[in-house]
Amino acid sequence: MSAVYKKLEEVCEILDSRRVPITARDRKAGIYPYYGANGLQDYVAEYIFDDELVLLAEDGGNFGSKERPIAYRVSGKCWVNNHAHVLKAKPLVNVDYLCYALMFYDTEGLVNGATRQKLTQAAMRQMVIPYRDMTEQLQIVDEISQVIRLIEKRKEELELLDQLVKSRFIELFGDPQNNPYGYQYEKLSDIATYFNGLTYKPENVAMEGTIVLRSSNIQNSQLDFADTVRVDCAIKERLMVQENDILMCSRNGSAKLVGKVALIKGIQEPMSFGAFMMIIRSQYFGYLMTYFQMDAFRQQVKTGATTTINQITGRMLDDVTIPLPPTALVDQFTAFVEQTDKSKYYSSLSYHLCRQAASYYRQEWMTCRTSNS
C-alpha cells in the first residue's frame, strides 16, 4: 500500500487551546474522565470535550518506548489537561488510523528536556503521517484492530489463570495473614536464603551480555523484559537467578516500589539482578509473595524501622515469620502451578506473537518521519 506524507495539521485540528489543567486539590469528583499524557488520571464533575479525539503526549510521555504508546483514543465527554495535545481528525483521515500512526511515532530529535521530555506544539507541527485513501485506511485499521483484540484476549486469559492459582492457594493454605489452619510460624532466615544484587559500572553495559534484572522488570508480580539492561563482566554464580527464585525490589526512591516481587519462571538465558534488588530462595515463600498480598510482610519489615520504607535489608528479613504448611501440601500446590503454567505458556506464546504482529504492521504501514526529513 503506497502512501504520501501529510503534516499533522493537514489531517487534524489541533485543539490544545481548549485544554484546562486542574490540580488534584481543585478537582471535583464526578463521572467524566480526566486525561493526561499517558491516559486516564481521574474522574471529574464537568467536561470540556465531547468528541472522537486522539491525545498525544506533550510532556512526561513514553517517548522512545517500543512497548508503551505516546498516543491514545478517547471518545465522548471528557476533560484533558495540558500534558497531552488534543487532536481531532479531519474528514480525510480516519480517527483510528490517525491514532495508530502516532502511537509509536519516532520522536527522536523532536522532544527535548533531560529529566522530563517534552514534545512542544512547534515540534509536533513538524510531524507527518503516511496518508492513503479512506478504503486503504479502513483496511489497515481493521487488520491492526483484529490483532489488538487478540492481544487483549490473551492478556485476559493470563490474568484469569493467575487468579485461578491465587484461588487455589487460598483454598489449600487459607489467608496467610489470619493463618486459619494454625500452621507453625517459622523465621524466614530458617527456611530461605537471600542475596543482594550485582553492582556494575556504566562501562560494563553492553548490547550483548547477561541480563541484569531491575525493579522496572517487575510488573504485576511477573517479569517484564520491555526495559532490560545487559552487562559484560564477571558475575559470581550466586548472583545468577535460578528457577523459582523470588526477585524483590529491596531499595527504591519510591517506598511503594520497595518489596514488590516476581517469581522467576521459565528461564531462557542466564540472568543476574541489580544492586537494589534481592533474590530470596524458598519455594513456599515465593508462592506466598507472588500470589498473595504483601501487607503482612511489609508490616513486619516496618517494625522498628521508619514509617516509610525505602530499603529492605537482610537483617530486616531475618526476623520475618510466616506460617509454613506441611511439605506435602506445598508439593500439591506446586503440581497445580506447574499444570497451570502449561496453559499459561501457550497463552503467553500467542500473546507475544500477536504483539510482534502488531509491531510488524505498524512498521510496515505506519512508518513516520518529520517534515524536515
Q: For 212-271, what is each residue's pLDDT tens digit?
A: 999 888 887 778 887 789 999 999 998 999 988 888 888 887 777 787 888 887 788 899
Looking at residue 310, what is its pLDDT? 76
Q: Which three cell numbers stand for residue 100?
A: 495508530
- What are φ and ψ of residue 328, in 5° steps? -60, -35
DSSP state of 215: G
**Closest among 320, 319, 302 to 311, alpha carbons compared:** 302
Query: How many whole angstroms separate alpha carbon 302 and alpha carbon 297?
Result: 9
Looking at residue 210, what is its pLDDT? 94
Question: How would you label 189-206 residue by residue, b for 16+ Cβ within 10 Å and e otherwise?
Answer: eeebebbbbbebeeebee
Sequential DSSP letters for 303-344 = TTS-SS-SB--HHHHHT-EEE---HHHHHHHHHHHHHHHHHH
Looking at residue 309, what is its pLDDT? 58
**Closest among 61, 54, 57 to 12, alpha carbons compared:** 54
Contact present, 222 and 247 (Cβ < 8 Å)? no
Cα angle 292, 294, 295 (rounded to 5 degrees) comes to 120
Contact present, 99 and 366 (Cβ < 8 Å)? no
**Closest among 304, 196, 316, 214 to 260, alpha carbons compared:** 214
Query: How many whole angstroms separate alpha carbon 170 and alpha carbon 177?
Result: 11
Contact present, 199 and 261 (Cβ < 8 Å)? no
Query: How many whole angstroms separate alpha carbon 82 and alpha carbon 57?
Result: 9
Looking at residue 174, what is its pLDDT? 86
Q: In this structure, is the dihedral angle defined by the CA atoms of residues 151, 153, 159 and 165, taken in order, positive or negative?
A: negative
Looking at residue 361, what is its pLDDT? 72
- Ranges of the chain whose pLDDT falls below 70: 1-2, 114-115, 290-309, 364, 366-373
Query: How many whole angstroms separate alpha carbon 190 and alpha carbon 281?
Result: 11
**Closest among 218, 216, 157, 213 to 348, alpha carbons compared:** 157
Query: How many whole angstroms separate alpha carbon 310 and alpha carbon 301?
Result: 11
